[in-house]
């Protein structure tokens, strides 16, 4: 059974703090993703990674950075948290897509971040 | 035009009803299609893939219409436990690019 875990279910931080959100998957997936989900806006892709030390910007990377030092771990960093970063953050992983494959994306349980 | 569009709902239906959701996608070169289900305050999970010939899984039927660029999900004999948000998901091209998620359609099945 694929398992994607996130370091915290709930997090409260203050404006200006540096925030680390950790994600670990146990299925040796190449691809990992960070999304945020807000009411009425759906899932929005922040960053993704195809391999260790590789990262690609998603649709809304501003204010975020990521780190992938090991294949199983993908971290999202808020360098200086702001109130508009209050959201549900979801991590996901999937196999590298090759021709003919139909990958499934597996999500972690999410981290609800509140920035005061 | 948004890449993947869905009616946000909510669809409020009685138990036992049949309900259908549609989703349109913008890229005619899209390769693969999925429906994900997301329960309240939980993460999305794969419900079913959508194949060109259409496919069925119990009470759920998914269909693809490439000419009109839409996919559909039909739920027969709705159960209270079917209440959730259903996300339409599309792989827009053949490369290893991220899936594109619709904003979801909310379903409430009422006793």
Q: What is the pLDDT of residues B28-76, one digit of tens each?
A: 888 889 999 999 999 999 999 998 888 999 999 999 999 999 999 999 9
Q: Say how many CA atoms lie within 13 Å of A22 toward its Cβ.
A: 8
Do residue B104 and residue A48 have CB atoms under 8 angstroms apart? Answer: no
Q: Which residue of A has its CA nearest to B48?
A: A104
| Residues on chain B touching A105 (C-beta within 8 angstroms) | 46, 89, 99
Do residue B96 and residue A99 have CB atoms under 8 angstroms apart? Answer: no
Distance CA B31, CA A97 (A): 12
Q: What pLDDT sits at residue A100?
A: 55
Do residue B44 and residue A110 have CB atoms under 8 angstroms apart? Answer: no
Per-residue pLDDT reduced to its tens digit, A73-113: 999 999 999 999 999 999 999 988 766 555 789 999 999 99
A35 to chain B nearest CA, in Å?
11
Q: What pLDDT sits at residue B31?
A: 83
B65 to chain A nearest CA, in Å?
18
> Is A2 in CB contact (< 8 Å) with chain B?
no
């Amino acid at each position: 059974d694929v398992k994607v875990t996130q370091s915290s279910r709930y997090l409260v931080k203050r404006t200006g703090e540096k925030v680390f959100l950790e994600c670990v998957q146990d299925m040796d997936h190449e691809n990992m993703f960070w999304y945020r989900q807000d009411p009425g806006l759906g899932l929005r892709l922040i960053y993704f990674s195809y391999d260790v030390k590789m990262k690609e910007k998603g649709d809304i990377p501003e204010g975020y950075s990521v780190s992938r030092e090991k294949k199983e771990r993908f971290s999202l960093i808020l360098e200086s948290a702001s109130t508009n970063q209050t959201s549900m953050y979801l991590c996901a992983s999937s196999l590298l897509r090759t021709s003919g494959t139909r990958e499934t994306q597996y999500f972690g349980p999410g981290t609800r971040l509140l920035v005061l | 035009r948004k890449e993947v569009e869905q009616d946000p709902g909510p669809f409020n239906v009685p138990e036992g009803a049949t309900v259908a959701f549609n989703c349109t996608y913008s890229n005619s070169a899209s390769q693969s299609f999925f429906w994900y289900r997301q329960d309240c305050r939980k993460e999305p999970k794969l419900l079913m893939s959508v194949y060109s010939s259409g496919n069925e899984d119990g009470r759920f039927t998914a269909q693809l219409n490439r000419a009109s660029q839409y996919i559909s999900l039909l739920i027969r004999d709705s159960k209270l436990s079917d209440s959730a948000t259903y996300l339409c998901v599309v792989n827009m091209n053949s490369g290893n690019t991220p899936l594109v998620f619709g904003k979801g359609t909310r379903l409430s099945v009422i006793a």
